[in-house]
C-alpha cells in the first residue's frame, strides 16, 4: 500500500457519503469480498480506485466495454496521479502492470488462447504477475461463458474480489442471481440515492407511467392467442390417450420401485398427479403414501397453466427420450403447441410472456403516448424543455413514410417516433435524431452544426415526408465529433427533443441538461433501464434548480387483470431503483407501489384520467423537491426489509379467503358466525319438541346437528391453524431465530451485535420485517436467510420438521428450510436448530439426502404446492 500512496492519492475532498463508506470499508474486506451498489452520479469509479489503492496490491480491473475501461484510466490520471508522468498502469491484459485495466471479453479471449489445460494456465498467468486484487465493474454485464474465467480466478489464494454495480441483476433467473452473488458476495454497502440528492449530486426527480391500449389488431391477436391456449388446455384434460399412458407408467404404477426417479423429478411427479386428479382419476393410493398423505389428507391444487407447463416441459423437452414409447401421443401435442406459439426454443410457456410481451411492448399505441408527453413537456417548460427519447431499434424502413395517416407506423423505433411526432406537429423544428448510423436535423440548425464541426460544407439529403429536415452525412474524419456537437446543440436549445437508441445514448453518453427522459426501450434487463434513467437525474451546473422527469410506457393487456406482461416488466424495472412516493404519504422506497396505481386493470379502468393526472403532476416541479426533502428528513438509513403480502387488497380482518397463513382463523370465523345463526333458528323450529319431549332429548338432537353441520369445518379450522399458525406472529418468531443464530458467537461474519428486529403491519395485512442498528451487509444477510426460510420448499440439504402429539393426531407437520448458507455442514445446521427451538418450536432436523429424507422432502414440497407458483414475499428497500 505504501507504494500506491506514494504514486496515487485523491486530489480533492470526499463527499460525505463517500467518506462514510470509506471509513468502514476495512470491516467489509475481511472476507476478501467487497460488493458495493452505487447509483449513477455517486462516483463509483472514483471509489473503486480508492479501494484498490487502500488494499495496496497489484490489481486487475475488468470493465464491460472499452469506453468504460478508458474511463477508469482517465479517472486514475485526473483524480489520483501524484506525478503527471505516472505510467505504472496497462491497458493490455497480456502485459500487466501495477494496475491493469481490461475488459471481460479480453479475459475470455486470453483464456481461449491457452491450450487444453486453459484453467491452470490462466491461474498461473495471473499469479505469476502477482495480481492479488480483482475489481469487477458492472458484473451484471457478464455473458455465460465469461463466468467460468472469473470462477477460476477466485481459486487464487488471497485474492480480494471487489464488485461495483449500479444495479444487481434481480430480474434474472434464480440460477443467474445465485451465480452473480456467489461471485460477488453479498452486498456490503449501498449508497442511497437520497444521500446524493441531499448532497446536491443528483437532482430531485420523479418517475411516471403513461398507459396505452393495444391497437384493435393487437387485441384480436391476444384474444385469439388466449382462446387457442384455452382450447388446448381443455383438449389436454380430455386427452384419454395421454391419461391412460400416464397411469401405466412404472413410476405411477409401482412408485416404491421408482423412488429415485420420483425424488429426482418431484415437480413433474406432482404435475402428473394434479393433472390426473383434474381429469377425474382417483389418484393411486400408493402415490399418496409415497408423498406421506392419505386420501383424506390432501387438497389438490387446480391444474393451472403453470402445472401444464411443468407436465409438458418434462414430457416434450427435458425427458423426451425417456418417453419415446409415447411418441404417437406426444408428437401431435408438440405440433399443436408450436403452431399456437406456446413451445419455442425448447421451452413450454402457456402464459405466453415472450410472445405477448413482444407484441405489447412494441405496440404502435406507444407512439401516441410519446407524442402526448413531448407535447405536454414543451407546453409546460417552453424553451427550457430538454427531452431525450430512447428506443431499441432505428427502423430505417419507415424513412419514406409521409402524410398524416399514422396507421402505417406500426412499430416502435427511432424513425417511427420521429415521423409520428412530425405527422402530429409538422412545424416542429427543434427535433433531432442521433444514432451511430443516422443523424437527422432541421435545416435551421445546420449552420450551428457546421460551426461546431468547424467545417464549411456538409453533405445533406432531404428527408421525405419531413419538411425542412435533412440527413446529415458525416465524413469518417468527423464521426468522433458528431455526437459531441449534437449534444452541444441539445444543451444550447437548438434541439429540444432528441431521439436516439439505447445502445448509442444509454450508457457512457452524458448531457446534464436533460430534464425529461422517455424510455421507449423494451429490450434488455432493468439493469440497463436504470442506467438509462441515470442520464436524467444528474445535476446541471448551469441550472441548479433542475428537476428530472422519467417517463415509462406500458401497453396494457385487456385480457389480463394484472395488466399483462408489459406491465409486469415495468414492475420489475421499478424494483431496480428507489424513488419518492408520487402522492399521499411521503416516503422513499423501491418498487412501483409508490406510484399508487390501480390494483387491477379491466374495462372500468379510466386510462385517460390516469394519464391526464400523470401529465399534470409532472408539471409540479416544486413538489418533487418538497417531497424528496421531506422524505429525507423523515429517515436516516436505507433499510432492507422483507414484505409479506396479505391475501388481497381488502382489510385482512374482513376477508374470508383461505389464503396465506391466516386460513384457520377465517374458517373458525365462519364456524362461529354459523353457530350464532344456527342456534336461534334451531330453537324456533324445535320449540314444540322442547315442550313435548323434554329439554335433555332436544339437547342431544342439538349437539348431533351441531356436530354434523359444523364439525368438519371446525376440524379444518383447527388443522389449518396448527398447520400454519398466525403468519405475522410466526414470522416474527422465525426472524428472532435467524437473528439469534447470526448473533451466536460461532457465527463470525455478522458484526451488528446490537441489531434488533422491527416488524410493522398495515391495515391490509401486509407486514414487513427488518433489522435496526445493523449494517447494510448484515441486514442483507438477515433478510436473505429469512426469505429463504419462509419461501416454498425447494431442495434444501436440511429440513426442520415439527411434530407434537396433537399435530400427530391431526396428521399435521410443519416443514421449514434450513437456509443454504447455514446448511453447508451439520454443525452449523445444529446451531441454527438450537435457536429455532428456542424461539419458534421444538423441531427435529432432517438431512434430506437420505432415502428417508427424500421421502419427507417430497411430502414437504407437496404440502407447499399451493405456494409454488405464487410470490409469497419480496425484498424491498426503504428509507426509514
- What helix, strand, coil percent values describe the chain, rounded to 5? 50, 15, 35
Residues 438/418, Cβ–Cβ less than 8 Å:
no
Calculate the average pLDDT of the chain. 83
In terms of pLDDT, which residue wins out, 692 or 54?
A: 54
Q: What are the backbone angles phi and psi of residue 616, rounded to the nearest 5°?
A: -65, -45
pLDDT band (50, 70, 90) for residue 215: confident
Query: How does strand 99-103 pair with strand 33-37?
Result: unpaired
Residues 541/560, Cβ–Cβ less than 8 Å:
no
Nearest to 563 by CA among 356, 304, 872: 356
Given a cut of 50, whether residue 868 has pLDDT beyond it is: no
Lowest model confidence (mean pLDDT) among 43-57, 82-96, 105-119, 141-155: 141-155
594 grid coordinates: 409508490
Residues 593/602, Cβ–Cβ less than 8 Å:
no
305 grid coordinates: 397453466
* Cell 428472532 sits on residue: 736
Residue 508: predicted pLDDT: 61
In terms of pLDDT, which residue wins out, 265 or 208?
A: 208
Cα separation of 75 and 164, whole Å? Answer: 15
827 grid coordinates: 454443525
Given a cut of 60, whether residue 747 has pLDDT beyond it is: yes
Given a cut of 60, whether residue 708 has pLDDT beyond it is: no
Residue 723: predicted pLDDT: 46
Residue 30: predicted pLDDT: 80
Cα separation of 249 and 251, whole Å? Answer: 6
pLDDT one-digit tens code per residue, 471-507: 998 887 887 789 899 999 999 999 999 999 987 876 5
Share of the chain above pLDDT 90, in %: 45
**Domain range annotation of the chain:** 2-191, 225-352, 663-720, 724-879
pLDDT band (50, 70, 90) for residue 728: confident
Given a cut of 90, whether residue 61 has pLDDT beyond it is: yes
pLDDT one-digit tens code per residue, 680-695: 554 555 555 554 555 6
Average pLDDT for 762-778? 77
Cα separation of 443 and 467, whole Å? Answer: 9
Q: How many helices (H) and strands (E) are present in the chain, helices listed first? A: 35, 27
Torsion sign across C-alpha atoms 316, 317, 321, 323: negative
Give, for 614, the enclosing helix (H) or strand (E): helix 607-618
Q: What is the side-by-side strand order in the sheet with 874-879?
A: 578-580, 588-590, 874-879, 638-644, 767-772, 756-761
pLDDT band (50, 70, 90) for residue 602: confident
Cα separation of 262 and 266, whole Å? Answer: 6
Given a cut of 50, whether residue 662 has pLDDT beyond it is: no
Beta strands in 399-468 (DSSP E): 431-434, 439-442, 459-462
3-state helix/strand/coil string of 237-286 = HCCHHHHHHHCCCHHHHCHHHHHHHHHHCHHHHHHHHHHHHHCCCCCCHH
Cα separation of 65 and 138, whole Å? Answer: 10
Nearest to 594 by CA among 636, 643, 522, 653: 643
Query: How does strand 638-644 pair with strand 767-772?
Result: antiparallel
556 grid coordinates: 396494457
Residue 807: predicted pLDDT: 57
Average pLDDT for 372-398? 95
Longest dimension (CA), the chain: 117
In terms of pLDDT, which residue wins out, 541 or 550?
A: 550
719 grid coordinates: 388443522
For the domain spanning 2-191, the CATH number is 3.40.50.300
Cα separation of 207 and 535, whole Å? Answer: 13
Given a cut of 90, whether residue 642 has pLDDT beyond it is: no
Query: How does strand 160-165 pair with strand 99-103?
Result: unpaired
Given a cut of 80, whether residue 560 has pLDDT beyond it is: yes
Given a cut of 50, whether residue 557 has pLDDT beyond it is: yes
Given a cut of 60, whether residue 767 has pLDDT beyond it is: yes
CA atoms within 13 A on the CB side of 3: 7
Average pLDDT for 812-818? 78
CB neighbour list of residue 395: distance below 8 Å, 6 or more residues apart: 411, 412, 413, 414, 415, 416
Q: What is the side-by-side strand order in the sheet with 431-434?
A: 205-212, 548-555, 516-520, 387-391, 497-501, 431-434, 439-442, 469-473, 459-462
Average pLDDT for 165-193? 78
Lowest model confidence (mean pLDDT) among 109-123, 295-309, 690-704, 719-733: 690-704
Q: What are the backbone angles phi and psi of residue 159, rounded to the nearest 5°?
A: -75, 130
In terms of pLDDT, which residue wins out, 530 or 408?
A: 408
The three-state secondary structure class of 644 is: strand
In terms of pLDDT, which residue wins out, 53 or 480?
A: 53
Residue 650: predicted pLDDT: 38
The alpha-carbon radius of gyration of the chain (Å, integer) is 31
Residue 660: predicted pLDDT: 36
* Cell 383438449 sits on residue: 235
Cα-based torsion angle of the residue sequence 681, 685, 687, 690 in order, rounded to the nearest 10 degrees: -100
Cα separation of 386 and 432, whole Å? Answer: 11
Given a cut of 60, whether residue 42 has pLDDT beyond it is: yes
In terms of pLDDT, which residue wins out, 226 or 240?
A: 240
Query: How many C-beta atoms surround the C-beta of residue 812 within 10 A?
Result: 20
pLDDT band (50, 70, 90) for residue 99: very high
Cα distances from 145 to residues 107, 109, 127, 172, 597, in angstroms, run 11, 11, 22, 16, 40
Q: What are the backbone angles phi and psi of residue 431, rounded to the nearest 5°?
A: -110, 140
Residues 367/338, Cβ–Cβ less than 8 Å:
no
Residues 72/101, Cβ–Cβ less than 8 Å:
yes
Residue 498: predicted pLDDT: 97
Residue 24: predicted pLDDT: 83
Give, for 771, the enclosing helix (H) or strand (E): strand 767-772
Residue 366: predicted pLDDT: 95
Average pLDDT for 625-653? 72
Average pLDDT for 168-189? 76
* Cell 454495480 sits on residue: 165
Among 299-313, 346-360, 746-760, the range with the most confident prediction by mean pLDDT is: 299-313
Average pLDDT for 556-582? 87
Amino acid at each position: 500500500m505504501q507504494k500506491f500512496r506514494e504514486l496515487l492519492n485523491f486530489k480533492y475532498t470526499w463527499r460525505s457519503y463517500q467518506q462514510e463508506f470509506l471509513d468502514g470499508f476495512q470491516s467489509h474486506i475481511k472476507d476478501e469480498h467487497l460488493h458495493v451498489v452505487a447509483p449513477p452520479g455517486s462516483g463509483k469509479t472514483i471509489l473503486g480506485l480508492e479501494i484498490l489503492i487502500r488494499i495496496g496490491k497489484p490489481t486487475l480491473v475488468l470493465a464491460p466495454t472499452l469506453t468504460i475501461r478508458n474511463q477508469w484510466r482517465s479517472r486514475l490520471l485526473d483524480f489520483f496521479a501524484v506525478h503527471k508522468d505516472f505510467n505504472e498502469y496497462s491497458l493490455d491484459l497480456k502485459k500487466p502492470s501495477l494496475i491493469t485495466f481490461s475488459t471481460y471479453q479480453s479475459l475470455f479471449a486470453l483464456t481461449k488462447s491457452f491450450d487444453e489445460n486453459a484453467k491452470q494456465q490462466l491461474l498461473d498467468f495471473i499469479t505469476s504477475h502477482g495480481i492479488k486484487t480483482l475489481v469487477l465493474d458492472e458484473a451484471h454485464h457478464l455473458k455465460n461463458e465469461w463466468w467460468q474465467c472469473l470462477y477460476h480466478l477466485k481459486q487464487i489464494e488471497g485474492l480480494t474480489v471487489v464488485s461495483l454495480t449500479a444495479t444487481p441483476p434481480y430480474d434474472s433467473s434464480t440460477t443467474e442471481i445465485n451465480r452473480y452473488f456467489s461471485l460477488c458476495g453479498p452486498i456490503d454497502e449501498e449508497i442511497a440515492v437520497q444521500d446524493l440528492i441531499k448532497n446536491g449530486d443528483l437532482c430531485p426527480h420523479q418517475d411516471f407511467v403513461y398507459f396505452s391500449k393495444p391497437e384493435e389488431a393487437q387485441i384480436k391477436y391476444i384474444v385469439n392467442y388466449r382462446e387457442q391456449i384455452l382450447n388446448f388446455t381443455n383438449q389436454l384434460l380430455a386427452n384419454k390417450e395421454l391419461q391412460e399412458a400416464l397411469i401405466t407408467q412404472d413410476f405411477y404404477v409401482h412408485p416404491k420401485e421408482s423412488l429415485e426417479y420420483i425424488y429426482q423429478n418431484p415437480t413433474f411427479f406432482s404435475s402428473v398427479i394434479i393433472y390426473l386428479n383434474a381429469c377425474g382419476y382417483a389418484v393411486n393410493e400408493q402415490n399418496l403414501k409415497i408423498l406421506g398423505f392419505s386420501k383424506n389428507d390432501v387438497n389438490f391444487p387446480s391444474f393451472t397453466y403453470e402445472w401444464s407447463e411443468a407436465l409438458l416441459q418434462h414430457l416434450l423437452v427435458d425427458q423426451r427420450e425417456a418417453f419415446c414409447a409415447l411418441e404417437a401421443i406426444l408428437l401431435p401435442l408438440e405440433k399443436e403447441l408450436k403452431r399456437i406459439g406456446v413451445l419455442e426454443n425448447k421451452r413450454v410457456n402457456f402464459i405466453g410472456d415472450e410472445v405477448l410481451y413482444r407484441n405489447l411492448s412494441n405496440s404502435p399505441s406507444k407512439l401516441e403516448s410519446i407524442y402526448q408527453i413531448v407535447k405536454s413537456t414543451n407546453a409546460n417548460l417552453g424553451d427550457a424543455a430538454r427531452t431525450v427519447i430512447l428506443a431499441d431499434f432505428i427502423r430505417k424502413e419507415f424513412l419514406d413514410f409521409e402524410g398524416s395517416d399514422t396507421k402505417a407506423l406500426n412499430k416502435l423505433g427511432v424513425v417511427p417516433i420521429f415521423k409520428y411526432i412530425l405527422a402530429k406537429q409538422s412545424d416542429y423544428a427543434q427535433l433531432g435524431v442521433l444514432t451511430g448510423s443516422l443523424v437527422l436535423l432541421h435545416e435551421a440548425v445546420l449552420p450551428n452544426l457546421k460551426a461546431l464541426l468547424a467545417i464549411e460544407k456538409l453533405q445533406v439529403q432531404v428527408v421525405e415526408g419531413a419538411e425542412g429536415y435533412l440527413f446529415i452525412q458525416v465524413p469518417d474524419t468527423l464521426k468522433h465529433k458528431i455526437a459531441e456537437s449534437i449534444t452541444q446543440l441539445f444543451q444550447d436549445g437548438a434541439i429540444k427533443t432528441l431521439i436516439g437508441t439505447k445502445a448509442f445514448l444509454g450508457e457512457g453518453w452524458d448531457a446534464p441538461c436533460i430534464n425529461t427522459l422517455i424510455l421507449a426501450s423494451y429490450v434488455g434487463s432493468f439493469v440497463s433501464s436504470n442506467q438509462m434513467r441515470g442520464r436524467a437525474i444528474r445535476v446541471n451546473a448551469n441550472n441548479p434548480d433542475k428537476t428530472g422527469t422519467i417517463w415509462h410506457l406500458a401497453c396494457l393487456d385487456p385480457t389480463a387483470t394484472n395488466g399483462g406482461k408489459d406491465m409486469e416488466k415495468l414492475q420489475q424495472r421499478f424494483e431496480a431503483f428507489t424513488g419518492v412516493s408520487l402522492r399521499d404519504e411521503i416516503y422513499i422506497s423501491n418498487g412501483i407501489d409508490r406510484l399508487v396505481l390501480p390494483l387491477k386493470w379491466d374495462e372500468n379502468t379510466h386510462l385517460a384520467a390516469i394519464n391526464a393526472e400523470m401529465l399534470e403532476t409532472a408539471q409540479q416541479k416544486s413538489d418533487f423537491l418538497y417531497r424528496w426533502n421531506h422524505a429525507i428528513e423523515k429517515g436516516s438509513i436505507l433499510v432492507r426489509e422483507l414484505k409479506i403480502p396479505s391475501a388481497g387488497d381488502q382489510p385482512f380482518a374482513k376477508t374470508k379467503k383461505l389464503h396465506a397463513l391466516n386460513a384457520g382463523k377465517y374458517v373458525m370465523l365462519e364456524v362461529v358466525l354459523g353457530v350464532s345463526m344456527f342456534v336461534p333458528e334451531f330453537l324456533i323450529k324445535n320449540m314444540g319438541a322442547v315442550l313435548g319431549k323434554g329439554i335433555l332429548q332436544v339437547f342431544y338432537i342439538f349437539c348431533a346437528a351441531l356436530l354434523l353441520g359444523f364439525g368438519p369445518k371446525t376440524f379444518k379450522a383447527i388443522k389449518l391453524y396448527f398447520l400454519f399458525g398466525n403468519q405475522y406472529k410466526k414470522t416474527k418468531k422465525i426472524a428472532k431465530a435467524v437473528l439469534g443464530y447470526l448473533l451466536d458467537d460461532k457465527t463470525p461474519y455478522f458484526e451488528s451485535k446490537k441489531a434488533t428486529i422491527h416488524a410493522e403491519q398495515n391495515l391490509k395485512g401486509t407486514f414487513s420485517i427488518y433489522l435496526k442498528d445493523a449494517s447494510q451487509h448484515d441486514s442483507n444477510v438477515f433478510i436473505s436467510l429469512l426469505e429463504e426460510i419462509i419461501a416454498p420448499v425447494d431442495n434444501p440439504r436440511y429440513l426442520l420438521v415439527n411434530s407434537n402429539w396433537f399435530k400427530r393426531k391431526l396428521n399435521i407437520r410443519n416443514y421449514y428450510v434450513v437456509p443454504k448458507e447455514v446448511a453447508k455442514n451439520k454443525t452449523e445446521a445444529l446451531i441454527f436448530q438450537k435457536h429455532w427451538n428456542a424461539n419458534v418450536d421444538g423441531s427435529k432436523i432432517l438431512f434430506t439426502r437420505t432415502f428417508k429424507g427424500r421421502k419427507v422432502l417430497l411430502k414437504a414440497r407437496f404440502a407447499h404446492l399451493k405456494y409454488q407458483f405464487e410470490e409469497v414475499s419480496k425484498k424491498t428497500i426503504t428509507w426509514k
